[in-house]
Amino acid sequence: MINRSDDSGIPGRDCQSARELPALFWYSQHTAVCFLAALVLVVIAVSYLTPPFQAPDEFNHVKRAYLLSEGKVYLGAVNGVTGGDIDSGLLAYMACFEKFPARYEEKMSQRIARTSDRAKWTGEKKFSELPNTAVYFPFAYAPQAAAFVIGRHSGLSISTTYILARALSLATAIALLWFALVLYPVPLPVLALFCMPSVIFQFGTTSLYATSYAMCVLAICLFMRAGDRQFSFNGLMHFALILSLFLLATSRANLLGLTWLPAVLYWIRRSRWYLASAGTLLLLSVSWVAFAALTVKGIETLGISPVGVLFYYLTHIGSFFSVIFSTITNRAILLGNWNMFVGILGWQDTPLDAKIYLAFAFLLGAAGIVSLQVHRDILLERTHISLAIAAVLSTLLLLVLLLTTYTFHPAKVVDAIRGRYLFPMAIALGFALFDREMSLRRKKIGVSILFLMMVLSVVSATPKLIARYWTS
């Protein structure tokens, strides 16, 4: 798993590290394989109990993936709302599950199962709105889009195609995590994030979150590997870093806060290619975000465009800081986002037991204590400081974006935050603060924490999903 050579061909002084290279990987290759295999099993178990389209905005995620399978990157608008032409059979399949969100009394039945299984591709297209996912650069939906291409051209039913989309999305996310685990040691708390009910639930759906979370880990592993001259870092890895960051920033605009990270590598690897690639990355990412903001129609706040709201706060900067401060100090918002961070399943309508949220706070805290970096020289390394700054910057950008799009104007707080939005920043902070070298005893404790979190996720989610979707 470890390559000690530096075949990058980039001149420059070697970085002195306070750590020995073999100790960086706190897990073995066998442990990594077992972790990913266990993750797949628990995801399949939770996914099996979850009917189609029960993740937030999953209808529109699937529409975006379908349009990508048709070669559609830019989407037009009808009646002032952006969307695209969707196969009427797929729309009929979706209609079978449209009554579930936010309606706890709706349950799966034989009638719904039979009707959805009979849905076939018709070849007839009907315009359908999807303004919230139209802003994403669609190539991150490639696994789901591949499933739609296979399904349409091999005669699979829409129901089977949907299951295939789930499977390819999960397989892609697991593959990205595997490459990340091999390239650079992933801190214990970062792996613990993937054991929480919210992430396990999202991994079993066709939403964008599974691949984006895994891609975030891969991008940061590549960045950290490039930032440590003890590791080799070749041109292919450099390209993978830039591509990953581009797909992240164009699928979640607040992650523009990560796009400057390759520039940091110039002071470590001493190659101007990192400055050039960082500049190109930032230019392309901002260009797409600006293009989407100007062309996507239908995202408005009480009739006021996001640009209008942004202009208001730029001219009333005191109001802006007041809203931000009120948001980050609001106890109800903080508690609600912690619960969503751990897991409120379905369309945020299936909470877990209150003690589960406390249990995960304890386990995640324990993982942090076991692996908290205490070496000052390491914490002050450029890579660690840069990731911490990027996490804060991305969080601030998230608040600005939500304030200008999905928050009623004028606002007292940003009330559109969802726990799932915070995972990329938590991953960045995990790498910045929790990469301590661990003794054998600490490693055993860490593996035990991961195991307990997975078990607790399945045990807590299973009865809730059964009660939500399958029993009266």
* DSSP of 312-351: HHHH-HHHHHHHHHHHHT-HHHHHHHHHHHH-EETTTTEE
Whole-structure pTM value: 0.92
3-class DSSP state of 220: helix
pLDDT at 296: 87
Residues lower than pLDDT 70 in the chain: 1-23, 300-304
Is residue 38 in some structural domain? no
Q: What is the CA radius of gyration of the chain?
A: 22
Is residue 28 in some structural domain? no
Q: What six digits make up the tokens of 279?
A: 């500049």
Total domains in the fold of the chain: 1
User: Which of these, 203, 206, 268, 208, lies nearest to 238 by C-alpha position?
Assistant: 268
Is residue 24 in some structural domain? no
Is residue 393 in some structural domain? yes
CA 331 from centre of chain: 25
pLDDT at 21: 52
Is residue 337 in some structural domain? yes
Within 10 A of 366 (CB to CB), how many other CB atoms are there?
19
53 Rama class: left (phi>0) / alpha (psi -120 to 50) / beta: left
pLDDT at 391: 97
**Cα–Cα distance, 338 to 332 (Å, whole number):** 10
Q: Which domain holds residue 415?
A: 51-469
pLDDT at 302: 54
Is residue 39 in some structural domain? no
DSSP letters along 54-106, please? -STTHHHHHHHHHHHHTT--S--EETTEEEEEEEHHHHHHHHTTTT-TT-TT-
pLDDT at 13: 32
Is residue 55 in some structural domain? yes
pLDDT at 107: 92
pLDDT at 15: 40
pLDDT at 23: 56
Is residue 142 in some structural domain? yes
pLDDT at 22: 52
End-to-end CA distance of the chain: 50
